[in-house]
């Protein structure tokens, strides 16, 4: 890095768009960002303060929402600045930091989603042993594993991305610093770094995906063996919605980090980056929480508590 001539990067992103289009995109993404922050913030507050939501599912949901808040805050504010300023310049250190955070939070979320699928499997297929298998201590260890794996991967992949000198074009064809695009700007041979990232993606993307598929396959097998009157339709609908979010998140991440660079393009990269940086964090609260009766009741109680001081002051 000391011998590199590039000291900053320019995020090209939506630079080719017309001013009206950029203004429309700014308003749209600002609204989506605000909505995602509000929904995930509400879930964090409820799951961490309401004593009635003390089951493993809500413990995981709170951490998932916290990861989503970190994820969108790492990427979307930069994109909003880029939409208002042409040639949005990002320093070398800022690009490294952003990429490290994206890797850390993204990998942690991949693993946490797998643990949540396993939690659903145990709850539905082994209800009598659920409290023993998914004890508080086990849940804390699983969340700690997700965060630890994310931190380690963030450091490793950040090093692999920036280990070579940069003396070529410093224009990044995206709205944030994404590893495969940045590696392509390196003066050295990018193949080794890309192979390491590909191998790592197999571990942090495909392995959790396999666990998720196995968990939901067993859940569906258990559901199909029940009587239609035993809530089969509701459980099937919940599993289908969970799988939809998982497919969006994993397929978009796989395209970005596991596809050959020859199949990429600026428009494709931005589309798939948007899917896993803002669309999924916005959908997670709706899919995992707002369709849940206990969560709805907790929200009503939380809003009721917040309205009491205002009523008393009046």
Q: Residue 226 falls within a domain, yes or no?
A: yes
9: pLDDT strictly greater than 90? no
CATH number at residue 163: 1.20.1070.10
Q: Residue 308 falls within a domain, yes or no?
A: no
> Can you tell me the distance from the alpha carbon of 213 to that of 176, in angstroms, rounded to the nearest whole number?
30
Q: Residue 305 falls within a domain, yes or no?
A: no
pLDDT digit string, tens, across residues 173-192: 777 888 888 888 888 777 88
Q: Residue 307 falls within a domain, yes or no?
A: no
Q: Residue 170 falls within a domain, yes or no?
A: yes
pLDDT digit string, tens, across residues 53-91: 888 988 998 999 999 999 899 888 888 887 887 667 888
Q: Residue 3 falls within a domain, yes or no?
A: no
How many residues make up the chain in this entry? 314
Domain count for the chain:
1
Domain that holds residue 72: 8-300
This prediction's pTM:
0.84
For residue 307, report the phi and psi dihedrals to the nearest 5 degrees. Answer: -85, -20
Q: Residue 24 falls within a domain, yes or no?
A: yes
- The burial class, CB within 10 Å (0-12 / 13-18 / 19+), for 300 is exposed
Q: Residue 49 falls within a domain, yes or no?
A: yes
> Can you tell me the distance from the alpha carbon of 289 to that of 13, in angstroms, rounded to the nearest whole number?
33
**Cα→Cα distances 118→35, 172, 211, 217, 248, Å:** 29, 38, 8, 11, 19
pLDDT digit string, tens, across residues 109-154: 999 999 999 998 998 889 889 989 999 999 999 999 999 999 999 9
Mean pLDDT of 309-314: 46
């Amino acid at each position: 890095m000391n011998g590199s001539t590039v000291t900053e990067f320019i995020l090209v992103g939506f630079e080719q768009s017309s001013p009206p289009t950029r203004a429309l995109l700014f308003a749209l993404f600002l609204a989506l960002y605000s909505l995602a922050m509000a929904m995930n913030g509400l879930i964090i507050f409820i799951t961490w303060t309401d004593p009635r939501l003390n089951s493993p599912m809500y413990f995981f949901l709170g951490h998932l929402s916290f990861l989503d808040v970190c994820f969108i805050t790492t990427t979307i504010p930069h994109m909003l600045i880029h939409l208002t300023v042409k040639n949005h310049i990002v320093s070398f250190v800022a690009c490294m930091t952003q990429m490290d955070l994206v890797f850390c939070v993204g990998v942690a979320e991949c693993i946490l989603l797998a643990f949540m699928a396993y939690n659903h499997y145990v709850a539905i297929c082994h209800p009598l042993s659920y409290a023993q298998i998914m004890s508080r201590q086990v849940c804390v260890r699983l969340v700690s594993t997700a965060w630890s794996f994310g931190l380690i991967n963030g450091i490793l992949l950040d090093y692999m991305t920036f280990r070579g000198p940069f003396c070529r074009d410093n224009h990044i064809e995206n709205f944030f610093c994404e590893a495969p695009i940045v590696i392509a700007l390196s003066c050295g041979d990018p193949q080794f770094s890309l192979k390491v990232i590909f191998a790592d993606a197999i571990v942090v993307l495909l392995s959790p995906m396999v666990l998720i598929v196995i968990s939901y396959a067993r859940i569906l097998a258990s559901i199909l063996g029940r009587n239609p009157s035993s809530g089969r339709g509701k459980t099937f609908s919940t599993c289908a919605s969970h799988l939809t979010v998982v497919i969006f998140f994993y397929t978009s991440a796989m395209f970005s980090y596991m596809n050959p660079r020859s199949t990429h393009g600026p428009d494709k990269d931005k589309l798939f980056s948007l899917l896993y940086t803002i669309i999924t964090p916005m959908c997670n609260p709706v899919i995992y929480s707002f369709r849940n009766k206990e969560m709805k009741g907790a929200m009503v109680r939380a809003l009721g508590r917040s309205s009491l001081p205002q009523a008393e002051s009046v």
